[in-house]
Structure 1
Amino acid sequence: MMMETVLSRSIRLMLASGMMMSLGLSVTAQAQEAAATQRVEVTGSSIKRIAAEGALPVTIVTAAEIRALGVTSAVDLIKKLTAVQGSTGESASVGGASYGFSGVSIHNIGESRTLVLLNGRRLAQFGGQTLTGFAAGFDLNAIPLSAIERVEILTDGASALYGADAIAGVVNFITKHNSTDGDITLGYSAPANGAVEKRFSATKGYGSMIDDGFNVTMTFGHDERTNLKSVDRSFADTGKRTFTQNGKSYQKQQFSPSPIPANALDDNGQLISPFQKTTGACPSKTFRVIEPYNDGSGLVDDYCGYDFVKDLQIYPERKRDSFMASITKKIGDNEVYADLLLSRTTQISRIAAVPGGVSIPAGSALHNKYLLPLGITNDSLAFYRLADMGQRTSRDTSEFSNIVVGTRGVLSSWDYNLAYNHSESNVKGNISGYPGALAVRKLTSSGLLDPFVGPGQQSAAANAAIAGARYDGYWDGGVSKLDTLTLNGSRELMRLAGGAMMLGMGINFNKEAFESKPSLFAQAKLSDPVAGTLCDGTAANPCDQRFGDESSVPPYSASRISKGIFGELIIPLSKTVELGAATRLDSYSDFGSAVTAKASVRWTPVASVLVRASAGNGFHAPTVPQVNGVQQSYGVTSNKYTCTSALQATATAFGGICQPGNKQYDLLAGGNSSLQPEKSKQATLGIRFEPNSALSMGADLWHVQIRDVFGQLTEDLVFANPGQFNSSWTTKRDTGTGSTYLAFLSNNQNLGKSYSTGLDLDFTARAKTSFGQLSSQLSVTHMLREVTQLEKNGAYYSALGNFAELGSVSFRTQGRLTTGLQSGQFATTLALNFKSGYQDQATSVEVLDAAGAATGTETIRKQVGYFSTWDAQTVWTPSKTWTVTGGILNVFDHQPPFVPSTSGANRGQQFGYDDRYYDARGRTMYVNASYKF
């Protein structure tokens, strides 16, 4: 079944006849082709009708355009869409526990509010989603790009057909069907010094629906990529960076207070480096850190900070395999069909060796040897990095399966489609390089482990004991399932002045289920994680937790059933005016019922102009984990914090103590059974102008407002005002040291309201010249407004060009300009990708004098500038069977701008740039060769 606007069909026809369209994203425009007679279903509507530009803004990207963009995956394709902002990328898995998830967010309204479809059908959410709502969307890694015929992007939300929860919009991947073509493609991409990618795909179809009454189309794809290390990029190779702003020199140091050899606490509670005190210099991979206390005491921490940035892999190693099959059989005037998708993605990321605290009792051999000579007489804590155990490694595997069986055709004048769909995402996270906290305590108390010596300097017995304490195996994961039964139909009701009045109706039954599946180690149910020995919590058989970042994760499972019924009318009042109306009733087993509606209008005052508008409301229930997740350890804060007097008062009130020095705090989170659904209103107003076949332009103004927004209070807001947010605090006992520390509690809440407004623009021009067909296209998204409340009835904050309270950035402007030339067997394209700058988060940095010495600290907000890259590509088609494509992404190797901030939602451990917004791979040369048969 074809789904395309008339202009996109015209583009396809021009391509088939040798005319070169712009190699960027196709635009939608007014219908120009009166001869179109095939009824098709367009994303955003349930009604089959004559293909034409509708009242809703739908952008279509064809397979040819995807190839021309030089992208190698659905993840990279989504990055090229100018309307997409705020999506999670693969690099977030570097220390971010994302299990390799990559999502899509339209207009930065959210991945959980952007609905991803495969052939118009819902898919199971990611099995590695968290109870806070992170990764509560579809993982794009499961989509095989080689199987895609086109992608349709609806940038208007709350579709009656697909669901009222599509607040931001819909991304619909349409796969190859009813084809007898064969295709084999090989590809290779080569950035400098890492992230090298190899690709293979094969597609073949059998049987003609017209001649044979059946068709089978199958696609297999495989790709693999090597890792990219931080030390292989000058902008990301160290945690100690100097920079200038407004004529002043600054220094920002990103580090861990747990180096090797270890730092320790003296009798005043100050953090020192015994190694530095003894030798006068800091050890390898560290630099000296001097931090005055903020409580007016005059005390100073003077220690060696570990440059963990040098140990990161900023792009993870990855392998993906996918298989897709589509089977269609004609029976009379109807068809029965089945679609199958199987995919498996494995991603490996590595970060610095595990850090943690170790107790050093007064009178112990270690205390007497290293601390007593420095005047430390009391019990102490050593902050140590177990480098001899090797890097912490996460091996995440995501398996996705989707099967659809159904029948479609015409019955009693109804175009109908009845289908059952089972979709499942199974995520497994394996770790290595982590010991148990009790195991490390035993190593230290036995005298085997010496935290005050450097890497490789432990005794043979200690090395054997360290190797024996290393856990290597399954850690955590989850399974998300979705079962759906749908029946959709559309028909013509009557003839009006403008044409046929059309009715669409449908019903659906959904069952969502989620199961969290932590290992026994993650549940803190083992006394010896390596041997798998169960514990009972007694003094004789205590339960161990992960050293350095303890995480006791209870398992849980939950499910919900939802039902929906919808109706839609298309009313062509005249040849120039068409009205649309849709309504939907959703009923949830855990949230009751909700009625949503949408109205639209399409007006063509003259043949070259189309004006369209829509307005509607939406309803978005929280995910199953957001409601049912058990409160648990959730890692550590993104930023490090020193203990202010206000923070100490909060710690005392909760019966705990502050973290010593400048450290990250433990983070806990849990579901909220009182969470209420989000409710939205959205509207669009657009105009398209196509005076002739050589020129097309358009603009769509959109607005989305949401109340009862899901979220958590940001850590920077709470730590800056600890006394104002008592519900955001708790305590956590450290198994390794026995101390009880203040911890940040980040439970799900309904925070308040949000408003977003923006403008999507596009312009396309074509010209036939003496040297070939020339075309150029500009696509731009410009954000006009974006504000959000962080608590009900609270102040509004904005991320628009501003990285501050919300923990992320919305770029005011981003776009892509492409120019292409088709001449004979060659098609060459040059593309400019650009985005506006922003003001970085307020960050404390050191002020440097003319000699480079630190003279004090200052809190600054760095202005991050406009950023752009150029791409170039040539496609050579020597025959009907062969196509060779060569290109360069980021031709001039433009490096990401420096940013000193380190916190932010869905951000990895990278430093020096923000991996959420800029690609660390840099200049990338690629080649693809396709053979068609």
Structure 2
Amino acid sequence: MLKQDVISPTRNYTGYLSATYDTGFFGDGQLYSELLITRRKSQQNGQRQLTLDYAPNSPLLLAANGGLFTTQPRRVNSAIGIRTFADYGIYDSSQTQDFVKFSVGFRGDLPFLPTWRYDFYANKSWADGTYSFEQILADRLAQSLNVRLVNAAGTPITTPGATIANTPGARFACVVTIGNCVPAPAISNAIIGGQARTAAAAWFDYVTDDVVGHTSFRETTFNATFDGPLFRLPGGDAQAVVGFEYRKSSINDVPSSDAQRNNLYNFTSAPITKGSDSVWEAFTELEFPVLRNVPFADELTFNASGRFTHYESYGSDTTYKIGGKWAPTRWLAFRGSYGTSYRAPALYEQFLGSTTGFLSAQSTDPCTSLFNVTNQTIVANCLADGLPNNFINNGSTTVIQQGGAAAGLEAETSKNLTFGTVIQPTFGPAFGNLSLAIDYFRIEVNNGVSQLGAGALARGCYDGTRPEYCQFVVRAPYTGSGTGQLTITQSYINVATDMVKGIDFTLRYDRELGPGKLDLGINAVRVIDRVNQNDPNFAATHFEGSIGNPKWAGTGHVGYDWGPWYARWGVEFIGKSSDNFLVDPADYPSNVYDFSVKDYWLHTFALRYEPSNRYSLTAGVRNVFDKKPPKITAEDPFVNTISNIPLQSGWDFRGRTFFINAQAKIF
């Protein structure tokens, strides 16, 4: 397990080219273009379990054939004789991502309105990815476990009681030999101990293969923007921006053929995800400098913006933002804004291909053990489906996961409120320049895109609280015992609500000191509340102060600039947090489980040498004091862990690292 990658190693290649040409045409128009080409290659080592099911009475179980049992053991069920839970060992995954973006535009002053400017812009981007990972192929595994004894010539041995031990030259061969089948190894300590890769190398190579998938993404954009003054106000010219934009994007994700036909052992199928969407937008932004440099109004400015959006897949919506700034003096200002936003679901959320899995009906079917159900609405709806009073579902529920386009998935919407103050006292050159900004924010996302669990969908339908869920729940006709099974479609739908509010602090200070200039900066955030509700049938959960959602976090730095040199000491801070308040103490007693972490500080030092604006060299060390990430009890149900370390951003998993960066402008 120590050979697993926590952070994916990557290699990144980037090429960038830009050019401009002054045409002197149409208001001194300038033709400009950019080309960006990148390639990212990544590779990870992972660890997983190897589960092997030996059939009842399989000759691979007997000690006389190299197995572990002198007689056939008691079977697990009619299909499984012995099930082994072994270590697969390290498996490899790799990805290659190529991205190309070409942009071209023409900008200048409008000839018939010279105080206004225009910008016509278009771009086309291509993203192509290839992903590969080592997998066990289910059909090859099943074929390899279906074996029989043959002699040296390959002829099947039919003598009753024959084994490798009592039959010279006997060996195992696959019953179905197509595809150069390699028989599975007999059960042994080496196989159980996770040494299949070396103990049975030929078989392991036969049942495993690198499966490869491909993803392509395309996007085309056209944009036209105009900006300029409208009229004169006491504080200056009122300004306006007006623009139009068209975007079209498409995705085509093609997993390997084995993934598509559900031939990856212990993995669900992965179908093709393919679709496209387009959007037209019109937008404007207005700024009105009402007053400037008058008593009690060093500045008074209002601004407003709006956007109309029409998606081919969802229809239309409008968003807006209004704001303002009032500075009664030069050293004190108040500002605020309120707006709405709109996020169309990603192509993946819309067009994810259908995958099928199975869950226990005991946890997903509200009608099972109907004679014990006390909710009369559930009972009535179950009986209306033709189920008897004594219905028991001992089978499984079919769960289909797919994108939400067919179910009428809509866009997320949000409301954003901010207000605060900026303080910039002037104490003279000897003191330096100081500014402090304090801003309150509240962001609420409604109609959030999410996937509900199969059980939540079925219960919401049958108990009548969420009748709209019934479109995702289908019951087969009941004709007797073992019938009446459920099929539930888990689609992306609009149900989630998220809200966060807090206070941002930004402090800046600089002054001349000695031969150079000292600068200091601090950015901090205090989260007052963070709420999430994925299922409307359950109360919202407050996550502020939990792991990954600290109440306090921030960054800071001290720098000194002299001549071509710049030295910087940076600090990152994550406040203490805990998931103890989220769990039930009866299930996670505090004397056994501890899901809390202490304050975390990370320090970085860098030194830059820049003799001109064409060349620079930077070297430094990240995590100067080699700070280790925090540890918790591994069974925290709210975070993923590796060993006892929660996987959350902000904590350094590499330890102390050194870096060097060189930059040069060729043209």
What is the TM-score when the length of structure 1 is the normalising length? Answer: 0.55
Structure-1 residue corresponding to 2:447: 708
Within 1, Cα distance between the matches of 2:606 and 2:455? 44
1:916 aligns with 2:648: yes
Match of 1:761 among 495, 498, 505: 505
Structure-1 residue corresponding to 2:557: 818
1:308-354 CA-partner distances (Å, limit 9, x unpaired): x3341222232111111111111111101111111111110111255
Within 2, Cα distance between the matches of 1:879 and 1:601? 40
Match of 1:621 among 311, 327, 344: 344
Structure-1 residue corresponding to 2:90: 391
Going from structure 1 to structure 2, the CA distance change for 1:601 and 1:882 (only over 3 Å counts) comes to closer
Structure-2 residue corresponding to 1:669: 401
Whether contact under 8 Å (1:669, 1:746) holds in the other structure is yes
Equivalent residue runs for 1:268-307 within 5 Å: none
Structure-1 residue corresponding to 2:50: 355
- Higher RCO structure (Cα 8 Å, ≥6 apart): 1
Going from structure 1 to structure 2, the CA distance change for 1:424 and 1:354 (only over 3 Å counts) comes to farther
Question: Counterpart of 1:443 in 2: which secondary structure?
Answer: helix
Whether contact under 8 Å (1:371, 1:377) holds in the other structure is no
Within 1, Cα distance between the matches of 2:555 and 2:411? 36
Whether contact under 8 Å (1:683, 1:704) holds in the other structure is yes
Structure-2 residue corresponding to 1:142: none
Question: Counterpart of 1:522 in 2: which secondary structure?
Answer: helix
Within 2, Cα distance between the matches of 1:606 and 1:460? 77
Question: Counterpart of 1:547 in 2: which secondary structure?
Answer: coil
Question: Counterpart of 1:751 in 2: which secondary structure?
Answer: strand
Whether contact under 8 Å (1:522, 1:546) holds in the other structure is yes
What code does the residue aligned with 1:691 have? P
Whether contact under 8 Å (1:845, 1:860) holds in the other structure is no
Within 1, Cα distance between the matches of 2:445 and 2:333? 29
What code does the residue aligned with 1:599 have? I
Match of 1:773 among 500, 517, 539: 517
1:864-895 CA-partner distances (Å, limit 9, x unpaired): 11111112223345788764433221111110
Structure-1 residue corresponding to 2:205: 467
Match of 1:324 among 16, 32, 51: 16
Within 2, Cα distance between the matches of 1:592 and 1:362? 62
Match of 2:334 among 611, 627, 646: 611
What code does the residue aligned with 2:14 have? S
Residue 773 of structure 1, CA deviation: 3.1
Residue 625 of structure 1, CA deviation: 2.6
Structure-2 residue corresponding to 1:601: 324
Match of 2:629 among 878, 887, 896: 896
What code does the residue aligned with 1:920 have? F
Going from structure 1 to structure 2, the CA distance change for 1:381 and 1:573 (only over 3 Å counts) comes to farther
Within 1, Cα distance between the matches of 2:146 and 2:623? 54
1:756-781 CA-partner distances (Å, limit 9, x unpaired): 11211111222434475332221112
Going from structure 1 to structure 2, the CA distance change for 1:382 and 1:313 (only over 3 Å counts) comes to farther
Within 2, Cα distance between the matches of 1:859 and 1:742? 40
Structure-2 residue corresponding to 1:336: 31
Equivalent residue runs for 1:768-917 within 5 Å: 768-770=512-514, 772-792=516-536, 794-803=538-547, 809-823=548-562, 826-840=565-579, 860-876=593-609, 883-901=616-634, 910-917=642-649
Within 2, Cα distance between the matches of 1:716 and 1:898? 33
Match of 1:496 among 216, 220, 233: 233
Question: Counterpart of 1:605 in 2: which secondary structure?
Answer: strand
Structure-1 residue corresponding to 2:107: 408
Equivalent residue runs for 1:642-657 within 5 Å: 656=395
1:463-501 CA-partner distances (Å, limit 9, x unpaired): 323212321241x34222221111010111111111101
1:438 aligns with 2:139: yes
Whether contact under 8 Å (2:331, 2:425) holds in the other structure is yes
Structure-1 residue corresponding to 2:286: 569
Structure-2 residue corresponding to 1:509: 246
What code does the residue aligned with 1:454 have? A
1:312 aligns with 2:4: yes
Question: Counterpart of 1:521 in 2: which secondary structure?
Answer: helix
Going from structure 1 to structure 2, the CA distance change for 1:499 and 1:671 (only over 3 Å counts) comes to same
What code does the residue aligned with 2:47 have? A
Residue 931 of structure 1, CA deviation: 5.7
Going from structure 1 to structure 2, the CA distance change for 1:879 and 1:337 (only over 3 Å counts) comes to closer
Within 2, Cα distance between the matches of 1:405 and 1:904? 50
Structure-2 residue corresponding to 1:587: 310
Structure-2 residue corresponding to 1:518: 255
What is the RMSD of the two structures over their aligned residues, measured on CA atoms? 4.1
Question: Counterpart of 2:350 in 1: which secondary structure?
Answer: helix
Whether contact under 8 Å (1:627, 1:674) holds in the other structure is no
Residue 546 of structure 1, CA deviation: 0.8
Going from structure 1 to structure 2, the CA distance change for 1:572 and 1:437 (only over 3 Å counts) comes to same
Within 2, Cα distance between the matches of 1:716 and 1:336? 58
Going from structure 1 to structure 2, the CA distance change for 1:592 and 1:716 (only over 3 Å counts) comes to closer
Residue 438 of structure 1, CA deviation: 2.1
Structure-2 residue corresponding to 1:533: none
1:453 aligns with 2:453: no
Within 1, Cα distance between the matches of 2:321 and 2:289? 17
Residue 908 of structure 1, CA deviation: 7.0
What code does the residue aligned with 2:242 have? M
Whether contact under 8 Å (2:103, 2:124) holds in the other structure is yes
Within 2, Cα distance between the matches of 1:764 and 1:313? 39
1:548 aligns with 2:266: yes
Going from structure 1 to structure 2, the CA distance change for 1:691 and 1:744 (only over 3 Å counts) comes to farther
What code does the residue aligned with 2:343 have? H
Within 1, Cα distance between the matches of 2:230 and 2:197? 85
Whether contact under 8 Å (1:843, 1:901) holds in the other structure is no
Within 2, Cα distance between the matches of 1:716 and 1:858? 33
Within 1, Cα distance between the matches of 2:229 and 2:366? 71
Residue 748 of structure 1, CA deviation: 1.9
Residue 827 of structure 1, CA deviation: 3.2
Within 1, Cα distance between the matches of 2:559 and 2:455? 46
Whether contact under 8 Å (1:874, 1:887) holds in the other structure is yes
Residue 619 of structure 1, CA deviation: 2.0
Bigger radius of gyration: 2
Within 1, Cα distance between the matches of 2:579 and 2:11? 34
Within 2, Cα distance between the matches of 1:385 and 1:605? 72
What is the TM-score when the length of structure 2 is the normalising length? Answer: 0.75
1:678 aligns with 2:412: yes
1:5-44 CA-partner distances (Å, limit 9, x unpaired): xxxxxxxxxxxxxxxxxxxxxxxxxxxxxxxxxxxxxxxx
Question: Counterpart of 1:896 in 2: which secondary structure?
Answer: coil
Whether contact under 8 Å (1:840, 1:901) holds in the other structure is no
Runs of 5+ consecutive residues of structure 2 not aligned to the other structure: 148-171, 173-182, 293-298, 370-391, 427-431, 476-484
Going from structure 1 to structure 2, the CA distance change for 1:621 and 1:814 (only over 3 Å counts) comes to same
Residue 429 of structure 1, CA deviation: 0.8
Within 1, Cα distance between the matches of 2:7 and 2:309? 41
Question: Counterpart of 2:260 in 1: which secondary structure?
Answer: coil
Whether contact under 8 Å (1:654, 1:730) holds in the other structure is no
Q: Is the strand fraction higher in 1 or 2?
A: 2
Within 1, Cα distance between the matches of 2:214 and 2:91? 17
Within 1, Cα distance between the matches of 2:400 and 2:50? 19
Aligned length: 567
Runs of 5+ consecutive residues of structure 1 not aligned to the other structure: 1-308, 525-543, 638-642, 659-665, 732-740, 804-808, 848-855
